[in-house]
Structure 1
Amino acid sequence: MNIIQQSFQVPYSFNIVFTKNLFSPDNQEFSNFLANFGDTRFQKKILFLIDAGVAEKHPSLIHTIQLYFNENTQISLVDKILVMPGGELVKNDTTYLDQTLLAINKYGIDRHSFVAAIGGGAFLDMVGYASCIAHRGVKHIRIPTTVLSQNDSGVGVKNGVNFLGKKNFLGTFSPPVAVFNDSNFLTSLSDRDWRSGISEAVKVALIKDLPFFEWLEENSAAMAKRDMTVMNEQIFRSAALHTNHISSGDPFEMGSARPLDFGHWAAHKLEYLTNFEIRHGEAVAIGIALDSIYSQLLGLISQTEVDRIINLLKNLGFTLYHEKLGENNKLNLWEGLNEFREHLGGQLTITILEKLGKGKEIHEVDFELMKLAVDQLKLTLD
């Protein structure tokens, strides 16, 4: 028997740039990146896709981008800027994936060119996935426009769409070549979208960083009142924790452990049970509260610590129970746990709390105890 063992490593490196008014003539961050990235001998193109909700709230955005590239001739802007729906619709309906692939083909976006997506996390997921499968990978740039995408999903390495009724069934692990977090996009968010992304900061603080959790407690009122300075600090610290975890652990999730998905197994199922009427971050807040109560019922954290978590989430404005959790004697929720197990290759691994600031992985769940946790969570409505 003859064997050839192949082994190689591919380094990944990209910058997450925190800025304001990205396409202002006075802001050269974007043009400097494009001018200095890759081989200057090739004529580069850039195709923009914009989340329809962003385009509606920023009606001058398309014209602003066009003016910006009139002054930056080192790269060719594709004449057509595509506008598509955001949210889970763009991941559920493959029409939008097809339209993106057709545009990449029509406008000649090759491996020396760029696809830039401006929008929320779901929108970035779809465009990133299309970019990764076209020509086996064209360069994609993320310009996140929500709190959740700026502090978590937009700074990671995942792309995907929903398929067969399953969240992110089709997807890739492929980093963007750059992320530009423009704080100006946050000013037009609804209160729900402003609040929603903060749950991911609470999540990563609870499993990684007690001082950050304490900072969130101290600044929850300011964030709820839409203090931009405080929100920007939260986004930066949360993004740093997420990126540090990815680079130091298992970035492409070859194993079954997904500690950054604390609170997410229930959140993913709840999103589907509500037909995505609740935001991802709202579902994550519920999932965090549920798994925190379960951690207390296991004797790992105290009631006082659970109360601190619940109070923080409620101070931020989250409602921590949804009637869909209790439907069918909670068997729908049990199905969500099994789907999470399947998504991880058959071995269940979820993260609960060993203490505030430190997560703990477990491989089985006492569902009778989890049902009790649901009942206790319902009491937070009182």
Structure 2
Amino acid sequence: MTPVADTNNPSPHTAETYQQSLTVTFEFPVIFTRDVFAADNPLLADVLDRLGERRRHRAMIAIDAGVDQAHPDLQHRIKEYFHAHPDGMELATITVLPGGEVAKNGWTVVREVMWSIGSAHLDRQSFVIAIGGGAMLDMVGFAASIVHRGLRLVRVPTTTLAQNDGGVGVKNGMDEHGQKNFVGTFAPPFAVLNDFDFLATLSQRDWIGGVAEAFKVAIIKDAAFFDYLCDHARALDQRDSAAMEQTIRRCALLHLEHICSGGDPFEFGSARPLDFGHWLGHRLETMSDYTIGHGQAAAIGIAVDSHYARQVGLIDDGDLQRILDGLTACGLPIWDDLLDRRAVDGTLEVLEGLEQFREHLGGRLTITLPDGIGRKTEVHQMDPGLIEKAIDFLRGPAAS
């Protein structure tokens, strides 16, 4: 290793630099399946052994409390699964944790996960298998990523939103300092197992929430997928399983394509193109104390930013109407009264989301907007007056 000379520095102060270059390859399977904990289904056992280590893998199971309640036989089935595969798996412990945004709001549940990992004497070669919705997966993934500097995480997402977006990505996190995902890590999972059977027990809000993420990615990346969503909006609202599974699969693959080929999986730059509509959506969530679901908040953000895009000439009236009609036809909102809430100085409170979004990424503000359907562009400033006009426009349909 030879030092890199700084020939452009005339300063009398010298420095000897040894430049390092590391290349680390990550890979993880995202598998669409059913009945993953059936004793005669080898999938989970095979996934734990996918590196060919041929040993008994110790695993902790973390279950979202809502999932545990909706599937009262789940813990028994998990124990039976491990019992059926004794040569390759050892169940260290099962812990049930709060689900929803409360799970990742502060350090309480994160510490509980860390304590469970420590009490079970898990090491870096051990597995944490997290079964639940997106917020719970974020929180468990964060805890697993910092204990021993990282255990192997297997995600089993149980909501539409987790299966098509958050659960297939490389981020983990928790809410702190009044901001969503203020604390977190980039840590790719060991594997993701999307078991469609978990979707049957979802509330209507959680069933349709993931469709907002599908509209988001379709509007900026895939015009044909956008057409599919508009054509099947009623079917999705009426819980058509085939339509939902197709939606989840395509949405997840578009997210994975971006993560793997977009050139910035750990977001070192200032752009986050897959967060179209999310600067406002995240702000609405925190303003509502998380009574508004993530998918519903994202849908409102998509509606506002789409109208903004129409005002600056990026999409036409027909595009805007199709976006709004598609969202509402599948039961997603395009309005909430919190959009009207103002700070003491008279400015709309949601506008604080712009600076929070910029600060989260660093660098200059970068907002993704549609440039026609299926294409995107990035802007580095947002006119508050045009945002307010978008909100005024959306208030009309909400009142009718």
User: TM-score surpassing 0.5?
Assistant: yes
The answer to whether 1:361 aligns with 2:378 is yes
Using the TM superposition, name which of 241-250 and 328-337 deviates more: 328-337
Q: Is the 8 A contact 1:203 1:262 kept in 2?
A: yes
Q: Quote the residue 1:305 is aligned against.
A: 319
Residue 32 (structure 2) aligns with: 18
Distance 1:186 1:143 in 2: 12
1:135 paired residue number: 148
Correspondent of 1:192 among 202, 205, 213: 205
Contact 1:330 1:371 in 2 (8 A): no
- Measured after TM superposition, the shift of residue 43 of structure 1 is 4.2
Q: CA 1:330/1:267 → structure 2, altered by over 3 Å: closer, same or farther?
A: farther
Unaligned runs of 5+ in 1: none
Q: Give the aligned residue type for 1:182.
A: D
Q: What letter is aligned with 1:278?
A: I
1:205 aligned to which of 218, 235, 239? 218
3-state DSSP class of the match of 1:197?
helix
Correspondence for 2:308:
294
Corresponding position: 1:146 with 2:163: no
- Please state whether the residue corresponding to 1:159 is helix, strand or coil: strand
- Cα RMSD, aligned residues only: 1.1
- Counterpart of 1:286, as a letter, is I
CA shift digits 1:112-167 (9 cap, x unpaired) = 11001000000000010011101011100000000000001100000001111111
**Aligned residue for 2:176?**
163
Q: Which position in structure 1 is the counterpart of 2:53?
A: 39
**1:369 maps to amino acid:** L
Q: Percent identity?
A: 46
Give, as a single letter, the amino acid of the residue that structure 1 aligns with 2:278.
H
Q: 1:107 aligns with which of 117, 120, 123?
A: 120
Q: Match of 1:37, as an amino acid?
A: L
Q: Distance in 1 between matches of 2:273 and 2:50?
A: 36
Larger CA deviation: 294-303 vs 76-85: 76-85
Shift of residue 313, structure 1, vs aligned partner: 0.3
The within-5 A match list for 1:173-252 is: 173-249=186-262, 250-252=264-266
Alignment of 1:261-340 (within 5 A): 261-328=275-342, 329-340=346-357
SS at match of 2:389: helix
Which AA in structure 1 matches 2:251?
S
The number of residue pairs the alignment matches comes to 381
Contact 1:285 1:313 in 2 (8 A): yes
Over residues 31-61 of structure 1, what are the superposed CA-to-partner deviations in whole Å (9 max), with x where a residue is unaligned? Answer: 1112333533x54200000000000000000
TM-score, normalised by the number of residues in structure 1? 0.98
Aligned to 2:19: 5
Q: 1:38 to 1:97 in 2, by over 3 A?
A: farther
CA distance in 2, matches of 1:158, 1:258: 13
Name which one, 1 or 2, has greater alpha-carbon Rg: 2
